[in-house]
Structure 1
Amino acid sequence: MTSDDRGPRSSTTEEAQGPRSSHVRDQKESGEKKHLPLWQETILLLGLALVLAVVIKAFFVQAFYIPSESMEPGLIKNDRILVEKPSYWFSGEPQRGDVVVFADPGGWLSGADAVGPDSPVAKVMGKIGLYPQGGHLVKRVVGVGGDTITCCDKQGRLSVNGVALDENPYIREQGIQCAGPRGVPACDWEVGPVPEGSLFVMGDNRGQSADSTAHMCRPDETDCVPGDEFVPVDLVVGKVFVLIWPASRFDWIGRPDSFADVPDAS
């Protein structure tokens, strides 16, 4: 093989390599042009995070806080809780024993609890589910549509549809003679049947809870509106499933066995 034979091959190889090298550079330059500036990427990521937060709040999980002592001892004032919504999608509805968050049916809240946070930043964060909002209450479902609740039996227990409840796992004992509400003498009352699509709710701290029992009509009342004691299911945001803060009190919130033997209303 002569040097003349080798020469053309070498020249051809260089010519072939030249365009390939140029093509690779073009690809790199093209790829570099597709990258957004850092500030644009930051804005895009923040926007996506906000959209995700709104979607999560609207359909899945939302944060709330405990505004009073009404749910002690399980939930105390200023505890932060998370509420899940999928359990009540489609045909799912709150069940007896669930701890639920619901919007004020009207006149149940007053003052700061009714209006929520006053800081502009907190309001914005509340709208996207990153900060607890006001205007809501948290209580335990005692009766659902068709149920009749009676207070109290000889042992001071509430009864639902004729079955006495063992509520010791969650109610607060305060020396009261029964598990009934405040302001009702002799613990002698009955309510129901609960209208379909409505709930009868009570706080676990029965002596300090302005719940359904606080809105029942007493025999001597003339300005009471019958039915105000019930909460429409449509106002329920979701079911409390975890106490998230403070970390020292972290706990999962489930449905107690106290209502397991209660029959459906006949």
Structure 2
Amino acid sequence: MDTDAQLSERDRSPAPDEAPGDGMPDQGAEQGSRSARFPRWVRRVRVRRVWRWLTGGGPLRRLGLLLIVCLVFLLLVSSYVVQPFQIPSGSMQQTFRVGDRVLANKLAYRFGDEPRRGDVIVFDGTGSFVQDTPSENLVTALIRKGASAVGLMRPAETDYIKRVVGVGGDRVRCCDRRGRLEVNGRPVLEEYLYPGDEPSRVPFDIVVPEGKLWVMGDHRSDSRDSRDHLGEPGGGTVPLDRVIGRADWIGWPLGRMTSLKRPDAFADVPDPGGPGGGTGHPGGPHG
């Protein structure tokens, strides 16, 4: 024990031949002494004792600590690298089925790359597909995030998964005389569509604003996507900063595990404003 730090009031009182305050530390010195004592206390902590506490207490404590470490690791991975999402509806059939666990690559667009036509993305629809929602309390948010990190919970009501059909500057129109989707004046053969579906039963003609995306589900007759929000603020487009990640893999069930590739449907689409790029202004949404 540090006896110098355990002086009683009697020991601290001035001697009879001393003036009050002589030999006594001032308030600043006392505070400095207190702060100086803290590192001593820290140094008393032995790594051996900490390790004994962590490894002691029987198998239940060790199992609990292991679960906590695994959960923290999963939370870090799902926050910055890969996040699983459960498919809640049939809006992306045949690409995804209801109940599939999709892994969204959060690094896909983190280093300067942006979503391209044909990418399947997971995004937060707040402000574009849904109105602003009240924030969750801390406990609910932690539970939901922990369950989502291991794919045990459906995505939040504001999370969507759709295919990028148009990027900033693109003119997207449907449909041409043969019933095909057009991007920048070039018809797109969408082989990924749900069998028997038309590109769109609702005609539209829109120029995608810069920094936004036009997204649609593969099961067009069963998808609420950009088409359903044409008359709302933002015109149904999704801001780039709302993109959570790119759906690169199906992780569950085991029989459907696979990686996803960008289709060739948009390979011949010219850049906006280029030759054949459809520089004319749209006639506005129809229907």
State whether TM-score is above 0.5. Answer: yes
In structure 2, the partner of 1:164 is 187
Mapping of residues 228-243 of structure 1, within 5 Å: 228-243=235-250
Mapped to 2, the partners of 1:129 and 1:167 lie a distance apart of: 33
Amino acid at match of 2:209: P
Per-residue deviation, 1:107: 7.0
Does 2:63 align with 1:63?
A: no
Mapped to 1, the partners of 2:128 and 2:269 lie a distance apart of: 31
**CA separation of 1:127 and 1:260: change in aligned 2, threshold 3 A:** same
Does 2:67 align with 1:53?
A: no
Contact 2:128-2:234 within 8 A present in 1 as well: no
In structure 2, the partner of 1:221 is none
In structure 2, the partner of 1:260 is 267
- Secondary structure at 2:108 match in 1: helix
- Secondary structure at 1:86 match in 2: coil
Does 2:230 align with 1:208?
A: no
* Structure 2 unaligned regions, length at least 5: 1-47, 274-287
Mapped to 2, the partners of 1:85 and 1:121 lie a distance apart of: 20
% identical equivalent positions: 39
Which of residues 152, 159, 166 is equivalent to 1:143?
166
Amino acid at match of 1:195: P
Amino acid at match of 1:68: S
Does 2:209 align with 1:195?
A: yes
**CA separation of 1:257 and 1:243: change in aligned 2, threshold 3 A:** same
Contact 2:75-2:146 within 8 A present in 1 as well: no
Q: Using structure 1 for the length normalisation, give the TM-score.
A: 0.71
Q: Deviations over 1:217-240 (max 9, x none)?
A: 3xxxxxxx3423000111111011
Contact 1:174-1:207 within 8 A present in 2 as well: no
In structure 1, the partner of 2:156 is 134
> Over aligned residue pairs, what C-alpha RMSD do you find?
2.8
Per-residue deviation, 1:127: 5.3
In structure 2, the partner of 1:84 is 105
- Secondary structure at 2:116 match in 1: coil
- Secondary structure at 1:131 match in 2: coil
Q: Using structure 2 for the length normalisation, give the TM-score.
A: 0.66
**CA separation of 1:51 and 1:121: change in aligned 2, threshold 3 A:** closer
In structure 1, the partner of 2:255 is 248
Mapped to 1, the partners of 2:174 and 2:260 lie a distance apart of: 26
In structure 2, the partner of 1:23 is none
Mapped to 1, the partners of 2:51 and 2:97 lie a distance apart of: 53
Q: How many residues align?
A: 213
- Secondary structure at 1:76 match in 2: coil
In structure 1, the partner of 2:43 is none
**CA separation of 1:256 and 1:175: change in aligned 2, threshold 3 A:** closer
* Structure 1 unaligned regions, length at least 5: 1-30, 218-224
Amino acid at match of 2:206: V
- Secondary structure at 1:241 match in 2: strand
Amino acid at match of 1:248: G
**CA separation of 1:120 and 1:197: change in aligned 2, threshold 3 A:** closer
